[in-house]
A and B are shown apart, each in its own frame.
Chain A
Amino acid sequence: MSDGDLSSAFADGPAFVPYLAVGDPDYESSLTHVEALERGGADAIELGLPFSEPIAEGPTIQEAVVRSLEAGMTPDRFFEFVADLDVDVPLVCMTYYNLVYQYGTEQGPRPFVERAAEVGLSGFVVPDLPAEEAGPLRAACDEFGLDLIAIVAPTTDEDRLEKLVSVSSGYLYVQARLGVTGAQASVSGQTAASIDRLSDVDLPKAVGFGISSGEQAATVVEAGADGVIVGSALVDIVAEGVENDDPTGAVADRLESLAAELSAGAERGFEQRAPEPEGESE
């Protein structure tokens, strides 16, 4: 169980928000991995509940999803996992809408959100749920006091941004480049422009898609992001552990150490930032 309020993640400087697919490669190892992320300095953690057709993910996370499902991950096991976790930072569930919709005895998102609230989750990211379809999940989140985090893409124009912001809370997930998830050698040139045009939005902006090193985290935060989201680079470490037949010990250490590098990078970027003009905060 964790502490619930997402705003706490952004309260003291930039937020480092790592992602892992829950249950990859198995339940017990995965618990150890997620706890290592907190030791490495995570301010909030995105926990992936695997769906068989992850259309927004690149190969790294796709393979993690397969490993987790083959090891028996289900929505109920996922909730159990969240309850078993020994961490103090807010936790966000990242999954696809069909799993949210199917959970429980009545179709619709309410039972899923109710159960999420019980185990102490703080919010949701649902990549295949644009603002147009978000109404029922937004209503359930309001009922149980959870956040629904929208993804803002490079293709999102002003009109769509308004729609997205109207259904979002917690933070905005700013997609740094077009395409699917996956670690990149360099940060997209679109990032600064993406953050700039969101400056009037009164929600923290966390940038994801392609960030894999402390240096990149620094660049993104220096450009004005309130947080960085890192998934594939961390999942790569889990995958290497599976390949080397060492799913836990060294993997947790390496996750902790990359998390520490990313978190320090975000801090460094914040310190390097030009003095803020008056009236801007975060």
Chain B
Amino acid sequence: MTGSESRSGDGSFGGYGGQYVPEALMPAIEELTDAYERYVLGNEDGFLDEFRRRLRDFGGRPTPLQRAERLSERYDTEVYLKREDLVHGGAHKLNNALGQVLLAKYMGKERIVAETGAGQHGTATAMAAAHLGMPCEVYMGERDINRQRPNVFRMKLNDAEVTPVTTGRGTLKEAISETMRDWASNVEDTHYVIGSVVGPHPFPSMVRDFQAVISEEARAQVREGAGGLPDAVLACAGGGSNTMGAFHRFVGDDGVDMYAVEAGGSSLDVDEAAGVAPNSASLSIGSEGVLHGARTKLLQDRHGQIVESHSISSGLDYAGVGPELAHLVDEGRVTPVSVDDDAALEAFHRLSQEEGIIPALETAHAFGYLHEHHADLGGVVIVNVSGRGDKDLESVIEETAERDVPNAPDMSVFEGGL
């Protein structure tokens, strides 16, 4: 049996999952579990109806499942794109952020905190909080603030407070720890809108349920558009919310292969002595451990210290992954694969040129995998376009200028940056 079949339960996915948090947070976790079961699973007070209405009217759902004409021709494969980049805010992140902020409102909470890596989750949470009239504070690593300035400004435009995190390397891992500290200090009136299918139960199940709208729509759309189920679904995997969202409704369809495309960074090796993994491929090369409230697959050294991860895409730059995804990989239901920084950047330019879609750098990893392995994926493939790439343009200019990207435009004009 796969973990995805259990809708709530105790948050255990074949030994992964659990609730490894300070005691001060446990009453809030119990309260949240109760709220999740009543409102999300039980639709009490019409919560789900309101969530779906707001996803439609504010969020712009359903998103299209578009046949990619040039890619289909290039790869001799029917390639369909699930266009989460067209969700309000430009990424799938709004599905979860809207769900959680709305739930916080139903629970009578007065304040929202969130963490963000690439800024997409922070942006989505800030938007949802502004939409629903809740004050919001977003923690973001200092390094990510420098990599993702447009999103920082968008959060501020939506009246969120953005607090830089300077500990460690200043990326998502540190931002999550800092948000947990804030939550532990203000737990009585504050809800932590966690950004992925990670953290203590009920977050992994709840975030998956909010994101499952992706595969729910895609499954119906592909049957209508292609006359049947796909042979494969590809989604990039950082923490795993976009991945679980794209996979959830296909888990029971044995004929559909699912590929979680991780950030291979510059190498899949880990330098234990330096405490560094030059990748973010926790499903591919990680080992079981406990981080940020859950037992899951992690990038860690042999002592259990978490090592620093890396990706060209800050949205994938995290040393852990959702426990359900770890379980689906162990079960053989999901195949973990990886694409390195260079291939992702090449795919970024290719999709922009050939389909007129500028993808997030996260998404570009999935297209990098499609490019290299299309011949093995079957006749009908869905790629989840997790978000749009506007936020990444500064990084892409910098990274493209530093590398020899064969399909990049002439970069000389951008020498001073944007």
Contact = CB atoms under 8 A, between A and B. Distances in A.
Interface string B286-321: 001111110000101011111000000000000000
B303 A157 contact: no
Given A52-B305, A52-B306, A98-B304, A128 B27 contact: no
Interface stretch (A3-11, A55-63, A231-239): A55-63
Contacts of A131: 23
A180 B304 contact: no
B264 interface: no
A124 to B, nearest CB: 14
A51 B177 CA distance: 12
Q: Which 10 A-B pairs have the closest CB atoms?
A: A102-B304, A179-B185, A153-B24, A98-B304, A98-B290, A99-B304, A52-B305, A155-B27, A55-B180, A153-B23
B289 A98 contact: yes
B354 interface: no
Q: Could you say which of A51, A103, A128 has the most chain B C-beta atoms within 10 Å of its C-beta?
A: A128
A130 interface: yes
Contact of B184 (A52, A56, A62, A107): A56
Contacts of B275: 52
A175 interface: yes
Contacts of A151: 22-24
| Secondary structure class of chain B's binding surface, majority of residues | mixed
A241 to B, nearest CB: 21
B26 A102 contact: no
Nearest to A96: B290
A150 B23 CA distance: 9
A186 interface: no
Contact of A51 (B19, B173, B302, B305): B305
Nearest to A173: B23
B279 to A, nearest CB: 18
Contacts, number: 117
B20 interface: yes
Contacts of A107: 288
A178 B27 CA distance: 12
Given A55-B177, A97-B290, A152 B23 contact: yes
Contacts of A56: 22, 181, 184
Interface string B16-50: 00111111111110000000000000000000000
Interface in B148-203: 167-168, 173, 177, 180-181, 184-188
Interface residues of A, number: 41
A178 B185 contact: yes
Interface of B: 18-28, 167-168, 173, 177, 180-181, 184-188, 275, 288-293, 298, 300, 302-306
Given A102-B304, A150-B23, A175-B23, A58 B187 contact: no
B181 A55 contact: yes
Given A156-B27, A178-B186, 5 more contacts: A52-B168, A74-B303, A98-B289, A153-B23, A178-B188
Given A53-B306, A69-B305, A130 B26 contact: yes
Contact of B291 (A53, A127, A175, A178): A53
Contacts of A130: 19-23, 26
A127 B22 contact: yes
A152 B27 CA distance: 12
Nearest to A58: B181
Given A55-B177, A99-B304, A164-B23, A155 B28 contact: yes
Contacts of B289: 98, 101-102
A154 interface: yes
B356 to A, nearest CB: 42
A58 B290 CA distance: 20
Given A52-B305, A102-B304, A153 B18 contact: no
Contacts of A101: 289-290, 304
A129 B30 CA distance: 15
Contact of A102 (B19, B177, B303): B303
Interface string A116-150: 00000000000111111100000000000000001
A180 B184 CA distance: 7
A160 B181 contact: no
Contacts of A74: 303
Interface in A62-97: 62, 66, 69, 74-75, 96-97
B341 to A, nearest CB: 24
A54 B306 CA distance: 11
A98 B180 CA distance: 17
Contacts of A178: 24, 184-188
Given A55-B292, A102-B300, A178-B185, A157 B23 contact: no
Contacts of B188: 155, 178
